[in-house]
Amino acid sequence: MTTQIVRAGCILLWLTTLPALAQVIINSPTTNWTPILPASTNQADYYDDEQTGRPESDIVGNALHPAVYFQFWNGGTPSPTDGTLAFRVRVGSDRPQVNQFNSVLFIGVDGDGNGSLDIFLGADNSGSSSHIKIWDAGTGLNISPNTTTVNSPPGQIVYSQNATNFHFGPVSLTLDPPATDFDLDDDGHNDWFVSFSLPFADVVAEMSRLAGISIVETSPLRFVVATSTQQNSLNEDLNGIPKNYNGSLTWDQLGGMSHYVTVIPEPATAALLALGALLWVGRLRQRR
């Protein structure tokens, strides 16, 4: 019986760590990534609703083609605060500059589930920048478009982009094997994926330093995803929110806040039930 329990435990461990066993390959197919969907029934995301008319800042997605994905590698260690976290967002085009991403992609993180964005992760390709950064939320409430601001904190964590942590590439069957449409917004230009990764330890550290919130890899997080022409505001497209919206409504009310996501799922309920059943059978046998 002890052997059975150990075996079941090993299988359980394998099942729960399976999605995190491989290092993040930034240009890997979407089948290696997990979609992040808004908690609302809004489309994620509407077409041609970016405020500036720059097509590469138009986040696009529909029921069959998610707009936002994440991928996590646990670093191959038991530590719940290391590894690599990556995000991928689908945009409508590579224009105006062909083959280049020249905007800022923000992933706003609600680390404590209270509806406010606490820090921002993202790719800053505005101007001459090509960096991955972690920003602080401003001193406002950060619960709605009107109350949310983005600050570059003292000692800001900034990484140079390279082929390992950043990728901008056209949606293809290689990058998105289940795709049945490569131009969701019908603007005559292939959609593109913006992907970036960063060390999870830095996300954990900055969430603590800047927002006073402790997180680990099993913490439930929520996200608001946005594009911008600049790194201190969300001034282009808001994922899951149409072009015309009331900026004083909360991210939750507007439908822009995602479902809760844990970068590593808690042990699957089904696997725990199976383990429980195994223990129960073992006890019945001992009674005989």
- For residues 78 and 236, the answer to whether their CB atoms sit within 8 Å is no
Residue showing tokens 């224009």: 95
Nearer to Ca ion, 74 or 103 (CB): 103
User: Candidates 6-14, 74-82, 95-103, 237-245 — which segment interacts with Ca ion by CB under 5 A?
Assistant: 237-245
Instruction: Give, in degrees to the nearest 5, the angle at Cα 202 between 198 and 207.
Output: 120
Pairwise CA distance, residues 163 & 177, whole Å? 21
Specify the residue, 52 or 156, whose C-beta has the smaller distance to Ca ion: 52
Among 118, 124, 136, 217, binds Ca ion (CB under 5 A): 118
Of residues 58 through 97, those in contact with Ca ion by CB under 5 A are 58-59, 92-93
Dihedral sign, Cα of residue 171, residue 196, residue 26, residue 200: negative
- From 15, 16, 77, select the one nearest 263 (Cα to Cα): 16
In the complex, minimum distance from the CB of residue 105 to Ca ion, in angstroms, rounded to a whole number? 13
Report the alpha-carbon distance of residue 190 to residue 196 in Å, rounded.
20
- 176 interacts with Ca ion by CB under 5 A: no
Q: Are 255 and 42 in contact (CB under 8 A)?
A: yes
* Identity of the amino acid at 43: Q
Q: Does 209 bind Ca ion (CB under 5 A)?
A: no
What residues between 238 and 257 interact with Ca ion by CB under 5 A?
238, 241
**Shorter beta-carbon distance to Ca ion: residue 45 or 206:** 45
**According to CB under 5 A, which one of 185, 206, 217, 236 is a site residue for Ca ion?**
185
Nearer to Ca ion, 82 or 183 (CB): 183
Question: Closer to Ca ion at the Cβ: 124 or 236?
Answer: 236
Instruction: State which of residues 56, 94, 110, 217 lies at the interface with Ca ion (CB under 5 A).
Output: 110
Pick 49 or 217: Cβ nearer Ca ion: 49
Least distance to Ca ion from the beta carbon of 176, Å?
13
# residues contacting Ca ion (CB under 5 A): 20
Sole binder of Ca ion in the list 30, 74, 116, 231 (CB under 5 A): 116
CA Rg value for the chain: 20
Contact 254, 241 (CB under 8 A): yes
- CA 90 – CA 59 distance, rounded (Å): 6
CA dihedral 136, 203, 167, 97 (to 10 degrees): 0
Q: Is 45 in the site for Ca ion (CB under 5 A)?
A: yes
Listed ranges 22-30, 187-195, 198-206, 272-280: which one lies at the site for Ca ion (CB under 5 A):
187-195
DSSP state of 260: P
- Write out the residues near Ca ion by the rule CB under 5 A: 45-46, 49, 58-59, 92-93, 110, 112, 114, 116, 118, 183, 185, 187, 189, 191, 237-238, 241
